[in-house]
Amino acid sequence: MRPAILNPLFAEVTDLKGVGPRLGKLFQKLCGPHVVDLLWHLPVDLVDRSFRPKVAEAPEGHIATLTVTVEQHQKPHNPRQPYRVRCRDASGVLFLVFFHVKGDWLERQLPVGASRIVSGKVERFNNQTQMTHPDYILDPAGLDSMKLIEPVYRLTAGLTLRIVHKAIEAALARAPQLDEWSDAELVKRRGWPAWRTAIAAVHAPAQPEDLLPTNPARERLAYDELLANQLTIAVLRARSRKRTGRSIVAKGDLRQRVERALPFALTGAQRRAFGEIAADMAQPLRMNRLLQGDVGSGKTVVALLAMCDAVEAGGQAALMAPTEILARQHFATLTALAKDSDIAIALLTGREKGRARTEFLERLAAGEIQIAVGTHALFQDEIAFKDLALAVIDEQHRFGVEQRLQLAAKGHAVDILVMTATPIPRTLEMTAYGDLDSSRLDEKPANRAKTTTSAVPVERLDEIIAAIRRALAKRAKIYWICPLIEESEDSDLQAAEARFSELFQIFGNRVGLIHGRMKGPERDRTMAAFASGGIDLLVATTVIEVGVDVTDATIMVIEHAERFGLAQLHQLRGRIGRGDQPAACLLLYASPLSETAKQRLSILRESDDGFRIAEEDLRLRGAGEVLGTRQSGFAEFRLVDLAAHADLIPVAREEARLVLARDAELESPRGAALRTLLYLFARDAAVRYLRTG
C-alpha cells in the first residue's frame, strides 16, 4: 500500500482547484495525470519583470513592466481584426493589442482615464510601440501580486503560463515533509536541502544559475530519482538471483560443428562473451545477460553458439527480432551457419498463415523445431514450446520489459540473452539495464574493410550522381537513404519516392525502392534483387537501419544527414563495408548546419567506434532519445540529466547496494523512508517484489 502521506500527490490533477476535465487532459498531455507530475515539470527559463522603463525607452523584444494611463478603446469593425487600446505615459504612446475579444471585459479591465501597470513583451509595428496580450494588467495598488521573477515552463497548445503557474503552486501546497531517505553524510557533504525545501526551490528560481542541473536543489532531486532507479534495479537483481534456474551444460559438439563451418575465425571478444554466457548457463540460476556489440561485431554468431548448447542439452531456443525483415535476415543467417549441424531451425512471423502456421505450432510443441526464429508472433498465447531453455531477444530497446517476460514464461526457468547493436553508454547501462549482466563485443572481424565517411553539401548533388554513375559501371552495390516515405506539406525533406523516381529516370531498372509501408513479400523481393539480382542502387528509408546484411554493398548516401541522430547514422553506416572491399559513406546535408549537427557529422567522420559514438550521442541528445525510451520499458527520467548527473549514478548504485545488504526488506526506519521514495517515483513494482520475494 502506498503511504497515506503521498496520497494527495497521487490524486488526479483535476482534484486541484481550477483544473477541470478540459485542462486535466491538457496537463496529462504536458506532464502526466497526477498532481506529482506537476512537481516533476521543472522550469526551463526565467522571466524578469523588474525592468520598468518609460514607454519611449522600452526596447523591442524585451519583457518590460510599464505604468500607463488608458486613453481610448479602438474596437474593430471586423472580429478578425485586433482590438487596440491606446495608452500613454509622459514619454509616449503604447498600444495594447488583443485578438478574439468577447464581451466588455477589456473595458472593465482597462477603463478610460485609469492608471494601469502592464507587463509583457514590447513590440514595434508601423513605428508604433505595442504589447500583444500583456501577461499582466494590474491596478497600481495590486503591484505586489505580480512576481518580479517568474519561472517559465514548457507548454502545450491550450495551456498558458498563468494556468501552469497556478496548478504548480497548488501542487506544491500538497507536497508533505518527508523523512530523509538518503545517507545523512552524503546530503551534508553535497550541501543538499531536504526534499520538501528542494522541490519548492526548483520552482522558485531567482537567477539563471538556479536552472542549471548542478544547482544543489536540482541535483538533490536528480539523486532522489537515481536512488529510486538503482534501488529498484538492485531489488529486481536480488529477486532474479533467488529464482532457481536450470544448469545447461553441453559437450560442445554442435557448437564445434558450427564453428568449423564459419568462413572466419572468432574474434577474442566473441570468445570472451561466449565464455561469460556459457558460464551463466551452467549455473543453477536464471541467466539475464545483455550482449552489446557494434554493427558487424558478430553478435548473431555468439547467440547461435549459445543456442547450440541449449539444443545439445535437450532444450529448445528462440530468437526474437523486432521486425519481420530482421527476423528473416536472422533466419537466413542461422540456417546458413548451421547447415552442417542438423539443427532444425524454423521461422514464424505475422505473415505465416493457415497450414504453414499450424504446422509450425505442431512441430514446435512436439520439440521438432529446435531453434525458433520470429517476431512478436513468438510470444502469442497459442505458441507452446516443448522445452524452451534459452530465449535470445535482439534489439532489446525495441521491446518492453513485459515482452521479455512473456517470452521467458514460455518455458521453465528460461535463460535470457538480450542483444543490441546500439552500443549503450556506461551511464545508461547502469540506469536502464542494471538488472542485467553485460558482455561487450568491442572488436570487429579481421577481414572487415575500412569505411571512409565524408560530409557533402546538397549543392554538390550532381557530383554525387556522377560518382554513382562511375561506381555502378564497376557493378557496385549502393544504398541511398531518405528520411521520409512521401512528400509532406510541412516538410522540406526529400522523400524516398520522389528521389527514387528521379534516380530511376537516370539509371532505369538498376534502381529499387524499399520502405516500411510496403507489403512483406514485395520488400523481400526487392531485398533479394539488391543482394543478388538486377538492383544495384537501393533507395530506402531507415527500414534498413538494423540487421540488413548485403555483403557486397560498399557505398551509402544518407540524404539530410543533419536530421538523423548520431547513433542512427552510425547504425545506417554499418550496413556497408561488411565484406573485404573498402566502403564509402556520404553524408548529404543542407546548410546552414546547427552547432549540434556540425558536431554530429564531425564525430561520425572521425570515429567508427560505436561505444564512443553512443557516449557522444547521449551528450548531444539526452537519454530519452538515445534509448527510444517510449518503447523500451525503461522508465524515463524526469529530473535527471544523464550527462550532467553521470557522477551521481555510481554513488546511487553503491548506496542502494549497501542499503539492501543491511536491510534486505527495507523494514528499518530508514528502510520505511526508502519505501516512500520508491512510491514517490512510482516504482511500486519494486515494493511488491520486496513483499513477495
Residue 623 predicted with pLDDT over 60: no
Residue 6 predicted with pLDDT over 70: yes
What is the rounded CA–CA span in Å between residue 428 and residue 652? 14
What is the rounded CA–CA span in Å between residue 244 and residue 498? 56
pLDDT recorded at residue 401: 58
Residue 436 predicted with pLDDT over 90: no
What is the rounded CA–CA span in Å between residue 690 and residue 237? 12
Residue 338 Cα to chain centre, angstroms = 36
pLDDT recorded at residue 466: 95
Whether residue 5 contacts residue 196, with contact meaning beta carbons closer than 8 Å, is answered with no
DSSP per position, 9-25: GGSBGGGSTT--HHHHH
Mean pLDDT value of segment 449-475: 93
pLDDT recorded at residue 693: 41
Contacts with 246 (C-beta within 8 Å, 6 or more apart), sequence order: 284, 389, 412, 413, 415
More confident site: 117 or 491? 117
Mean pLDDT value of segment 241-252: 83
pLDDT digits (tens, 9 = 90+) for 301-346: 999 999 999 999 999 999 999 888 888 889 998 999 898 888 999 9
β partners of residue 559: 588
| Confidence band, pLDDT 50/70/90 cuts, at residue 629 | very low
H-helix or E-strand spanning residue 472 = helix 461-473
pTM assigned to the model: 0.68
Residue 633 predicted with pLDDT over 60: no
Mean pLDDT value of segment 174-200: 97
- Look at residues 121, 106, 635 and name the one whose alpha carbon lies nearest to residue 401: 635
pLDDT digits (tens, 9 = 90+) for 489-533: 444 445 788 899 999 999 999 999 988 778 878 888 888 889 887
Q: Distance of CA 629 to CAs 406, 420, 634, Å? A: 19, 14, 6
Domains 253-441 and 451-627 share a fold: yes
- Look at residues 231, 254, 133 and name the one whose alpha carbon lies nearest to residue 182: 231
Tell me which fold the domain 451-627 belongs to: Rossmann fold (3.40.50)
Residue 620 predicted with pLDDT over 80: no
Domain layout of the chain by residue ranges = 4-44+167-204, 47-152, 230-243+650-692, 253-441, 451-627
Q: Which CATH number fits domain 47-152: 3.40.50.2300, 2.40.50.140, 3.30.70.560, 2.40.50.100?
A: 2.40.50.140
What is the rounded CA–CA span in Å between residue 67 and residue 138? 9
Beta strands in 494-574 (DSSP E): 511-514, 537-540, 553-559
Mean pLDDT value of segment 635-648: 83
CATH code for the structural domain at 253-441: 3.40.50.300
Dihedral sign, Cα of residue 439, residue 442, residue 447, residue 452:
positive
Residue 405 predicted with pLDDT over 80: no
Residue 121 predicted with pLDDT over 50: yes
Cell triple for residue 456? 557533402
What is the rounded CA–CA span in Å between residue 409 and residue 380? 11
